[in-house]
Amino acid sequence: MEKANLDVIRAAEARKHSQIETGDMRFYRNRVITSEMLGHHTSGDWQLLAAEIGAAHGERFDLGEPDDVDAEGNDVWELQKYFNERYWYRGRKEYAPSELSAVERANNDTITLARMHDLGYGVGPGAMYLFQATPLTDSLLRGTTLYELRLLRNEVYARHGRRFETLWLRDYFKNAPWYKPRRDFTIAELSENEKNNVKLIQAVEARRHEELSTKDMSERDVAGCGLNRGESAQHSCLRGSIDEAHTVRPNKPHPGRAAYSQQLRLPGGALRSDFCKAR
DSSP, residue by residue, 207-274:
HHHHHHTTS---HHHHT---PPTT--HHHHHH-EEE-TTS-EEE--PPTTHHHHHHHTB-TTSPBPS-
Question: Residue 137: left if φ>0, alpha if ψ -120 to 50, beta else—which one?
Answer: beta
Banded model confidence at residue 279, pLDDT cuts 50, 70, 90 = very low
Q: Is the pLDDT of residue 245 over 90?
A: no
pLDDT in tens, 112-132: 999 999 998 899 999 999 999
Is it the case that residue 239 has pLDDT exceeding 90?
no
**Is pLDDT larger for residue 251 or for residue 137?**
137
* Percentage, residues of the chain above pLDDT 70: 76
Higher pLDDT, 23 or 276: 23
CA distances from 239 to 143, 231, 254 (A): 22, 10, 15
Which residues pair with residue 68 across a beta bridge? 76
Q: What is the DSSP letter of 128?
A: G
DSSP of 146-172, one letter per residue? HHHHHHHHHHHHHTTT----SHHHHHH
pLDDT of residue 214: 74
**Predicted confidence band at 217 (pLDDT cuts at 50, 70, 90)?**
low
**Is the pLDDT reported for residue 244 higher than 60?**
no
Q: Which of 12-26, 66-80, 130-144, 211-225 has the lowest mean pLDDT?
A: 211-225
**Residue 224: per-residue pLDDT:** 56
Residue 133: the pLDDT is 95
What's the whole-model pTM score? 0.71
**Angstrom distance (rounded) from CA 273 to CA 209:** 6
SS3 33: coil
Query: What is the residue extent of each domain of the chain?
Result: 2-212
- Give the pLDDT mean for 189-199: 97
Is residue 9 classed as helix, strand or coil in its secondary structure?
helix
pLDDT at 175: 86
Cα distance between residue 96 and residue 54, in whole Å: 9
pLDDT of residue 63: 79
- Does the 2-212 domain belong in CATH 3.90.79.10? no
